[in-house]
Amino acid sequence: MGKLDGKVALVTGSGRGIGQAIAKKLASEGARLVINDLDPEPAHETVEELRKSGAEAVACVGNVTAPDFADRFIGTAMNAYKGIDIIVNNAGYTWDDVIQRMTDEQWYAIVDCHMTAPFRILRAAYPVFKNQHQVDAAEGREVFRKIVNVSSMSGLVGNAGQANYSSAKAGITGLTRALAKEWGRLKVNVNAVAFGLIHTRMTSVDVKSGATVDIEGRKIRIGLNPDFIKQHAQRNPLGRGGTPEEAAGSVFLFCIPESNYVTGQTLAVSGSP
């Protein structure tokens, strides 16, 4: 018996990296998944991997910033499973520069991904949560459902060269607190996790290599300076960055019944106080 047996969980950006680790963790505890990725191949590969492990999973491919994405995402869950229990707003990337060189395109691309997309997804989910709560109440059941928004330490303390990303991630903590107050009456817990340095494909390469990822035709540089990683490890009390699996574990904490009386909180997941 898993802690999430039969629950329906939607995870954006779950074809790779942290999002995939989150999806695998939730599935390992019995959840049924809706997998999303910008690209079809990683999304469908993750679905197949989950199915081979015995989990139920379907894909909803596409950019979370698309105007129709939220309705498609919620609709995929309803068509496949007839309900929703968990939403994890994880999808994201960085497009850094100092403010004097940051373009409007850079600003809006990051804010739309990290702030507007979660807002639209949660707005689209509201009728589902309201209806499910009404059915539960009529039948005398108290059922808690879970929202976990992914923020960042950049949103809590700021980071040079990330005015767009820091602002969006700070905003997601505000959205989390607001919805915790709005949706408590529906028995929906709304919390956030703020990741520090987590080692993924985006952070593990040397930024000097010139490696990029393609985000709908935009070539976005990825990677970190190896000196920064070394200095981070020296400063961090645990002596290293985190793994995707450790990041997923923090999300899991907010999805299980033991967190039913916790809402509106942002948990720093950084290996440091």
**Which member of 81, 108, 126, 165 is catalytic?**
165
Contact 194, 268 (CB under 8 A): yes
Element (H, E) at 123: helix 117-138
Strands (E), the chain: 8-11, 32-35, 57-59, 86-89, 145-152, 188-195, 212-215, 218-221, 266-269
Report the distance separating Cα 96 and Cα 36, nearest Å: 24
Please enumerate in sequence order all residues whose Cβ is within 8 A of that of 231, keeping only pairs 6 or more positions apart, or say none.
none
Which tokens belong to 15?
């074809």
Catalytic annotation present for 261: no
Residue 206 DSSP symbol: B
The DSSP result for 11-49, as a single string, is ETT-SSHHHHHHHHHHHHTT-EEEE--SSHHHHHHHHHH
Cα–Cα distance, 264 to 20 (Å, whole number): 24
The residues carrying an active-site annotation are 165
